[in-house]
Amino acid sequence: MARIALRACSPRDVQRLIKDGVLAGPLPAGETWPGRAAQWLDEMQEGRRLVMVAEFGGTLVGMGQLIFRFANGYQDAEAANGTDIAMIDSIRMRPDAPGNLSTNIIVELERYAKKHRIKTVTFLVPMDNNRALNQVKSWGFEEFRIMPEGSKLLAFFRKRIA
């Protein structure tokens, strides 16, 4: 039986993430998935972000990220401060991914965060996504802030891990 393997993303994974349907959907005008992924990998090289990919049966089926420090101009010390708070971001999966994949990604990101002296992980979810809100709560996260962004409301969650 195939096992889910989680590992750090490399530049050679970007086209596979797109081809395998993990990176899909609309982006803001002028952005592309290869460009966005290149930015994530640059931030990973700088130590501000971890990008993990999930492989199952030879196919990339998902990904998740851990942001240690936001890019300049996007600072939010309650969400990720570069010291002991990091944000879980971009949990993405193929529609046919194994059912427990998102939980496996969260567990692995939390394990990595603990090893790097992170005490609290945060998560951001649109308020109109009830499924994601319920999932985040089932992982033990608690809401600590609601913030407007354009016409949407975003809920910030946090979980103490250390």
| 52 neighbors 45 (Cβ within 8 angstroms) | no
pLDDT over 70 for what percent of the chain?
99
At residue 15, what are phi and psi to the nearest 5 degrees? -65, -35
Q: How confident is the model at residue 28 (pLDDT cuts 50, 70, 90)?
A: confident
Look over the chain and give the mean of its residue pLDDT values, rounded to a whole number. 93
pLDDT digits (tens, 9 = 90+) for 54-76: 999 889 999 999 999 998 888 89
Quote the pLDDT of residue 7.
Answer: 95
Is the model's pLDDT at 4 over the cut of 90?
A: no
Burial class (CB in 10 A: 0-12, 13-18, 19+), 2: exposed
What are the structural domains of the chain? 5-119 (3.40.630.30)
